[in-house]
Amino acid sequence: MTTFTAFTTMMGKSSADVMSGAMEGMQPAPTGVGVFEVEDNSGLWEVGGYFVDAPDGVSLALLAATFGAKPFVISELPETDWVAHVKRELPPVEAGRFFVYGSHDADALPEGRVGLLIDAAMAFGTGHHGTTLGCLRAFDRLLTNGHGFADVADVGCGTAVLAMAAAKTTDANVIASDIDPVAVGVAVVNMAANGMGDAVVCVTAAGFDDPALAGAAPFDLIFANILKGPLVMLAPDMAKNAKTGGFAILSGLLNEQADEIIAVYARSGFNLVHRDEIVEWTTLTLRQGT
């Protein structure tokens, strides 16, 4: 599926917020809209939207002119066949109590480990990448330290390996969401492959914008293994949807980007609990309001 993006910058948060509201009313409608500050002390704010259908360039030009924004930059993200791109026999990955393996290693699951069957397919998150591995290690550490969870969200779930890890080790209500419907379809297939039925609710959503997520909030654990830009945009919503004392495990970050994300989330009430680096990637464990 092809995805389109449209981004602009403008001065002032209040104007950016109004612009984002106007974007949400466009036709074709965006699947998600975000606002975040450009972290260079310039006072600029970026407003961006994601579209399944090509956005109306005339409407965007009118919005930019109306709100005094720079012209929108519209991009088309290339459609990629991730099955052909990444399907291969990957070796198992061990992350604390978790053992992530492909069907070709079905006989290799060690006794007493939590097995997560994930074949390389149309969405990222096999456990081999430093970001997913970091998230699994961070979650394993929380479990080892005696933390329990009743409501868990995996935002930007990809294969939903993190959601499955939560569902297999806790009695929590677990929801997995992704902006890409292909990823959500892969997540559902992975649930079946792991014999998990409907243990995880899978929805297509941008951030927390879905009735299922709204109805389950607040969460005492939120996974967000995405990228720096979306993590910055999600910080206020993350705070709204996290319980006081709840944890957020964030990744998709290069090591040099981590300090900025720590600062952004600190402004939304999150404090750093742990920081892991795996090669060039950082995973952050944060806690809300403590």
3-state secondary structure the chain: CCEEEEEEEEECHHHHHHHHHHHHCCCCCCCEEEEEECCCCCCEEEEEEEECCCCCHHHHHHHHHHHCCCCCEEEEECCCCHHHHHCCCCCCEEECCEEEECHHHHHHCCCCCEEEECCCCCCCCCCCCHHHHHHHHHHHHHHHCCCCCCEEEEECCCCCHHHHHHHHHCCCEEEEEECCHHHHHHHHHHHHHCCCCCCEEEEECCCCCCHHHHHHCCEEEEEEECCHHHHHHHHHHHHHHEEEEEEEEEEEEEHHHHHHHHHHHHCCCEEEEEEEEECCEEEEEEEECC
Domain ranges, residue 11? 3-77
Query: Pick from 35, 62, 77: which residue ends a domain?
Result: 77
Query: Pick from 46, 77, 108: which residue ends a domain?
Result: 77
162 and 257 both lie in a single domain: yes
Q: CA 205 from chain center: how many Å?
A: 10
148 and 71 both lie in a single domain: no
247 lies in some domain: yes
17 lies in some domain: yes
Whole-number Å distance between alpha carbons of 119 and 88: 8
202 and 276 both lie in a single domain: yes
- Structurally, the chain folds into a number of domains equal to 2
Radius of gyration of the chain measured on its C-alpha atoms: 19
139 and 269 both lie in a single domain: yes
42 and 139 both lie in a single domain: no
**Among candidates 155, 288, 134, 123, which has minimal Cα distance to 234?**
155
Binding residues for S-adenosyl-L-methionine: 132, 156, 178, 225
175 and 271 both lie in a single domain: yes
154 and 279 both lie in a single domain: yes
143 and 272 both lie in a single domain: yes
Query: Pick from 34, 60, 77: which residue ends a domain?
Result: 77
Binding residues: 132, 156, 178, 225
The pLDDT of residue 84? 46
CATH code of 63's domain: 3.30.70.260
The pLDDT of residue 24? 85
CATH code of 158's domain: 3.40.50.150
273 and 168 both lie in a single domain: yes
List per-residue pLDDT tens for the chain, 290 residues long: 567 888 888 888 888 888 888 888 888 888 778 777 765 566 788 888 888 888 888 999 999 998 889 898 888 766 655 444 444 445 677 888 998 887 767 677 788 889 888 865 433 454 445 788 899 999 999 999 999 999 999 999 888 899 999 999 999 999 999 888 878 888 888 888 889 988 999 999 888 989 999 999 999 999 999 888 889 989 999 999 999 999 999 998 889 999 999 999 999 999 999 999 987 889 999 999 86
